[in-house]
Chain A
């Protein structure tokens, strides 16, 4: 096995036994990037020099016996998370020259842990999209099938882990942007509970929904990254002041007696038969392992998409008002007055999907429409939240598919925004309720495309999700399959 193919915990053990150096691991990963990145386009910015410096620093730390779980481990960060001194574009023309003067909290924590940063990953512009096709810099490609999308919006982070261009990565999830690309690329992706991870330095899309989380090749690595990034932090007043457990303690290969819910409504929502079959098989595996499977009901889930595509654009239209060509980013030239400068800058600086959502949000919040759209959606959001409250009285975690289909072809849905939005139909309810959710590989389509099983937990019940995911992974082989790059 090549170094670049390994998991963070495997590499940690090799580093601890001094069988390998972080510099060797980092060089192996950088060489891998050189070999495959031309076909994948997972990255917007590569930082090999910084990576090698961090690797040397990590080696010095390990020599002194000061090794943490991610010390010396090469990872990638979605380009919506601020990295001091390293360009952070959000996949947008309007920020294509933006160099943050500060680190996001998660970046700071990873630096302190001694991690190695290989680069910033591609994404749909401002995290709006399900395919990376909305990136100003062009789409990423799915390592399992290069003419297909890797999912989105964190498609670059998912593709980079699947293509072995980094060991783990960070993404952000507002309506499924970690879980859906994880499913498309056959890796593990987790959205923690809203408030579990500080959003300070995460460029805001929809602030009541956004959350940062990890991508990895197995469940143990997800727990290890979560251990580093989770926790309260005063610079994000919505981060929650609860103790952070050691998530690796949840990694128990035993689901006997656990009660797992399967929503009755899932089957009604136009799920690809191969996806439905793989998820049914996964449920059967967990049942055989001793979990008790019960039917639960989420009667308002069919309204979640409409709720989300009102609330998220409303919040986005407000958050994205800051891009005015004055303080940072792109400014259009040759304009006549201030209003003209604002309009030209934003017209030229934003892509079509971002403009569509700003328009939707501005319209839905404008005088005369607020009650009919934003307020109405916020009331239905309560009903969706209550559905989950009732379901979690009957079960400890919920099982459902992550995405309705395996990865679709690049270009297939770009002209029909509503069709594209339907990719998120199974991931959105979790964000609206603030819940944690995880996707992990549970099968492959006949064409060899990965299929994801989604596990949702109650608020701050990440450990239950990790336990189910870990036990499932231990008893199946799906996560061992690699794309033939």
Chain B
């Protein structure tokens, strides 16, 4: 077992997901199968190999700090599920 049901619970919380019991069972099995397949990579010695995070090695694309037009407030809020006086409204955060 690569990942236990307890770990699935922990990762689900980190990812802001949740699962029912049967779903969790199924996910744990599937994740284990996939993670076992990933073990293939251990066959390779990569201690001397630099990682590739991007296919084209580009860093720090710089530009002038200019004021450009952007979406107006009402348009930016137009897809929000709950809006109040120009703000996004969310459930209570602080007790």
Contact = CB atoms under 8 A, between A and B. Distances in A.
A47 interface: no
Interface of A: 97-99, 101-102, 194-195, 208-209, 234, 237-238, 240, 300, 302-303, 305-307, 309-310, 317, 321, 324-331, 335-344, 346-347, 350, 355-356, 358-360, 362-363, 366, 373, 375-383, 385, 417-418, 421, 432-435, 459
A356 B52 contact: no
Nearest to A99: B79
Interface string B21-50: 000000100110111011011101010011
Contacts of A341: 90-91
A303 B40 contact: yes
Contact of A329 (B3, B17, B76, B79): B79
B1 interface: no
B8 to A, nearest CB: 7
Interface string B49-71: 11111111010010100000001
Contact of A381 (B14, B34, B52): B52
A99 B51 contact: no
Given A326-B88, A331-B82, A309 B38 contact: yes
Given A325-B81, A380-B44, A335 B15 contact: no
A234 B40 CA distance: 39
A380 B46 contact: yes
Given A373-B38, A382-B49, A362 B15 contact: yes
Nearest to A363: B11
A330 to B, nearest CB: 7
A348 B21 CA distance: 15
Nearest to B88: A326
Contact of B91 (A97, A328, A336): A336
15 contacts: A208-B54, A208-B55, A302-B40, A303-B40, A307-B41, A310-B38, A328-B79, A362-B11, A366-B14, A375-B51, A376-B46, A378-B52, A385-B52, A418-B37, A434-B55
Nearest to A335: B91
A290 B46 CA distance: 41
A382 B38 contact: no
B6 interface: no
Contacts of B34: 309, 360, 417-418, 421
A325 B17 CA distance: 13
B8 A303 contact: no
Contact of A358 (B15, B38, B49): B15
B56 A382 contact: no
Given A363-B11, A363-B35, 4 more contacts: A238-B58, A240-B56, A341-B90, A355-B17
Given A331-B81, A347-B17, A363-B31, A306 B52 contact: no
Contacts of B12: 359
Select the residue from B7, B33, B37 with max chain A CB neighbours within 10 A: B37
A258 to B, nearest CB: 24
7 smallest A-B Cβ distances: which pairs?
A434-B55, A328-B79, A378-B51, A331-B81, A379-B46, A237-B61, A362-B15
B85 interface: no
A329 B81 contact: yes
B10 to A, nearest CB: 8
B18 A327 contact: no
B79 A362 contact: no
A320 B32 CA distance: 22
A380 B41 CA distance: 8
Contacts of B13: 343
Select the residue from A97, A335, A360 with max chain B CB neighbours within 10 A: A360
Nearest to A382: B52
Contacts of A434: 54-56
A347 to B, nearest CB: 5
A347 B18 contact: yes
A152 B8 CA distance: 28
Contact of B11 (A194, A306, A366, A385): A366
A154 B44 CA distance: 33
A359 B5 CA distance: 12
Given A338-B93, A378-B53, A343 B17 contact: yes
A215 B65 CA distance: 38
A306 B37 contact: yes
A194 B55 contact: yes
Given A101-B76, A237-B61, A347 B19 contact: yes
Nearest to A97: B79
